[in-house]
Amino acid sequence: MNNRGRIRPEVAERIRKIAQEMGYQPSLAGRALVMAGKKLKIGVILQSSETPFMQQVLQGIQAAKQEVEALGVTVDIHEVEGVNAGAVIALMRKMIEESRR
């Protein structure tokens, strides 16, 4: 599928034909991550995490986390109760410091 030349041309053509018949579509996100060649880490800070609405947002973030972690990305979710600029800034500094290690 990647045309790296490691498979005989007739076998590669047969694989492409089967993939087309099955409706296979390569993951563009996955391909981009592989091409980047380095580990990616995403930090998410969720304020007012105790509210019902933000709990729904958190569920969506957790679902997305599972998807991108399957592609080799690390996702750290940080919850902050209420609106607390100081806590958010402290978390941002912590994430920046961790990224430098």
Chain position carrying tokens 């100081």 = 86
**Mean pLDDT in residue range 46-74:** 90
pLDDT digits (tens, 9 = 90+) for 82-93: 999 999 999 999
Which of the four pLDDT bands, split at 50, 70 and 90, describes residue 4?
low
Q: Is the pLDDT of residue 3 over 70?
A: no
For residue 2, give both structure tokens. Answer: 């990647």
DSSP 7: S
Read off φ and ψ for residue 95, nearest 5 degrees. -65, -40
pLDDT tens-digit profile of 10-45? Answer: 888 888 888 888 887 777 666 666 656 667 889 999
**Does the pLDDT at position 54 exceed 90?**
yes
